[in-house]
Amino acid sequence: MLFGRHINRYYIKYAFLFLVGIAALLAVDFIQLFIPEYLGEVVRILQNNGDTDRIITLGIYVLLVAAGLFLGRFLWRITLFNASHRIESEIRHEMFLKAEALPRQFYHENKVGSIMSWFTNDLETVAEYFSWGTIMLVDSLFLSVMTITKMINLDLVMSLLCLIPSVIIIILGAFAEKIVMSTWEDRQKAYDSLYDFAQENFTGIRVIKAFVKEMKEIQSFAKVAKKNADANISFARAYMIINVLIETIVALVFSMVLLFGGWFAWAFIRGEPVVIFGYEMSLEPDKLIEFIGYLDILIWPMIALGQIVTMYSRSKVSLKRINAFLDTEIVVKSPDNAYELKEIKGEITYKDFSFSFPSSSTPSLKNINLTINAGESIGVVGKIGCGKTTLVNVLLMIYNLEPGTLFIDGHDITTLDIHSLRNQIAYVPQDNFLFSDTIENNINFGLSNGTLETAVQGAKFAGVDEDIQGFSDGYQTVSGERGVTLSGGQKQRVSIARAYVKNSPILIMDDSVSAVDSKTEEAILHNIATERKGKTTLVVASRVSTVQHLDKIIVLNEGELDAFDTPQNLLKNSPTFQRMVKLQELEKEVEGVPEND
């Protein structure tokens, strides 16, 4: 059996299905052993110029055995495969919940293709062992024991000769396990690389086409595919060599029995004894037919014994990969006895706040001290890479923070329940991710009872209602994967609408109006000032003009707080802000110069 800390409990949970399935398997194994006995008796009756009525009775017995086999096989298929599918479903659900809880750093270190491989290829391999693995294990153990017992009762020496291949198969399986495990692990890694490459190319298909790099990517894909093919061929070669050796051994045994059987039959006709290694064989034709029938039944357990080794090896490798994923530590989580936020005003305080990403030793933010009053609209500006996005993202507790450095309404953020914290914040990310769903559902994503009216309200706030109304299906238009059917500005505004309808005390807009024209930008900012009055809003921007009408502006420089004041005061007191304003004015002047000049 396959055991592991993440699957052991399923043997207990689905013990009834496993017990019923194994009982049905044992019943089938026991019942089918009657057929060789009946065949032997038929031969014996025919030898003695037979009892027709007895032959008819035996025929009825065979039909009853066939019915029992049908019912038994139906039962073990229903129970064992049902248990296998349920276990696969529950493990996949557990993996999905784990994937949702893992921090961003995990997805920076592991590509989507590899993760999808764990969810599909590896999990299906493990699930296969719960069904076919159980069947082969039971048959290779119990059916072989019962069959060999019957054979020994007929002839000990002949049975021992037939057992030699089983010993060879066991020895072969011990050597084969490491080879199969190694080649299967290489195959899975090659499959991960193939999946990663394909997923990345499908996602970036626009860039590939824009730079006319289709042939280059096809050639690169061919190299990755070749490595995957080589790994599959190596595994298939090892797998087939083992299977061919096992089946060859089984075939040789069967041929040997038929050869001896022919010799016995000829000797029986001539009335001569058959002596092997000084042992006189006593098998008569009816017993010989019965013995061959048992040997025919024994072929499957022998084959299963070889296949169970390869299946176990593959499942063990796949389970190891799944365990590694499920054992990944969730470093960002709610503390014990976490305080649950229910209603907040929206006051935010940074107190000697510093932050470094887990993979970096250089601080992204250093000694930030400021307080954002509840209900204020705040802009965040600075050069690229100065920490603007990081300053607002830490409010979502995506990474672990130092206690006593960041507060919401006076509550230390590290003492809060993460889900209740995030529920108080509406977030518009830079990448404007949209789901492959209708625009209405994308806007209402953060609501449990969203309606068309709420979606329209959000779209009007974001200035995208007219665009949506112009689509043939309106709000029922499917945005496509990652919003591929919408323009960059439309995706930004749908994302803003999605955050707005959540109606949270805190709204974060991370460079969310960079792809819209100045008129639409002004309309959105006006709506923020009027419709979110009394609620805290943080607007990260690359252009000073985007935030110049907000209550206050945070100016960052190289991860440090350069200034925090009203736009009017910053123009007087902040050299960094003054320089940004002048640079923006110069850009406007350059853009306004006619080309002929």
Work out the average pLDDT over 251-278: 70
How much is the pLDDT for 275? 67
Which pLDDT score is estimated for 593?
47
Residue 334's pLDDT is what? 84
On whether both 410 and 549 belong to a single domain, the answer is yes
Contact 188, 117 (CB under 8 A): yes
- Residues 359, 275, single domain; the answer is no
pLDDT at 92 over 50: yes
Same domain assignment for residues 132 and 257 = yes
**Distance, CA of 100 to CA of 92 (rounded, Å):** 12
For residues 393-409, give the mean pLDDT: 90
Read off the pLDDT of residues 273-318 as tens digits, 9 standing for 90 and up.
666 666 666 667 777 788 878 877 887 887 787 778 778 888 888 8
Please indicate, yes or no, if residue 153 is contained in any of the structural domains: yes
Residue 99 domain-assigned? yes
**pLDDT at position 508 over 50:** yes
**Judgement on whether residues 321 and 339 belong to the same structural domain of the protein:** no
Q: How large a percentage of the chain has pLDDT more than 90? A: 23
Domain termination site, one of 325, 352, 375:
325
| 147 and 254 fall within a common domain | yes
Residues 190-203 pLDDT 10s: 888 888 888 778 87
How does residue 372 score in pLDDT terms, banded at 50, 70 and 90?
A: very high
Q: What is the pLDDT of residues 125-180, one digit of tens each?
A: 899 889 888 888 888 888 888 888 888 888 777 777 777 777 777 777 667 767 77
Minimal CA–CA distance to 503: which of 549, 555, 545, 450?
A: 450
Q: How many domains does the chain have?
A: 2
What is the structure's pLDDT at 261?
66
Instruction: Examine the fold and report which residue of 266, 291, 325 is the final residue of a domain before the chain moves on.
Output: 325
Last residue in a domain, options 274, 301, 325: 325
| Per-position b or e across 166-198, b if 16+ CB within 10 A of its CB | beebeebbeebbebbbebbbbbbbbbbbbbbbe
Domain membership flag for residue 509: no
Same domain, 378 and 260: no
Average pLDDT over residues 392-416: 91
Residue of higher predicted confidence among 336 and 67: 67
Has residue 489 been placed in a domain? no
pLDDT at 104: 77
Q: β-strands 377-382, 536-540: how paired? A: parallel
Query: Tens digit of pLDDT for each residue in 492-504?
Result: 888 999 999 998 9
Residues 560 and 590 grouped into a single domain: yes
406's CB contacts (< 8 A; 6+ apart) are 348, 349, 350, 351, 353, 394, 395, 412, 413, 414
Orientation angle between helical segments 52-101 and 285-326, nearest 10 degrees: 10
Are the beta carbons of 396 and 385 closer than 8 angstroms? no
Is residue 435 assigned to a domain? no
pLDDT-derived band at 534, boundaries 50, 70, 90: confident
Domain assignment of residue 529, yes or no: no
Same domain, 289 and 362: no
Q: Report the chain's mean pLDDT, rounded to a whole number.
A: 84
Q: 407 and 274, same structural domain?
A: no
What are the b/e assignments for 35-46, b being 16+ CB within 10 Å?
Answer: bbbbbbbbbbbe
Distance from C-alpha of 500 to C-alpha of 531, rounded to nearest angstrom:
10
Same domain, 269 and 396: no
At which residue do the structure tokens 């084959």 appear? 303
Query: Residue 187 belongs to a domain with what CATH number?
Result: 1.20.1560.10
Asked whether 308 and 136 are in contact (CB, 8 A), the reply is yes
In-domain check, residue 118: yes
Tell me the mean pLDDT in the region 460-475: 88
Contacts (Cβ under 8 Å, ≥6 apart) of 303? 246, 247, 250
Residue 303 sits in the same domain as residue 363 = no
Report the CATH number that the domain containing residue 396 is assigned in CATH.
3.40.50.300
The residue count of the chain comes to 597
Which candidate, 382, 389, 349, places its Cα nearest to that of 368?
349
Q: What is the pLDDT of residue 317?
A: 85
CA 293 remoteness from chain centre: 46
Residue at 470 is within a domain: no
Check pLDDT > 80 for residue 253.
no
Q: In terms of domains, do 250 and 357 share one?
A: no
pLDDT band at 553 (very low <50, low <70, confident <90, very high): very high
Domain limits for position 45? 8-325
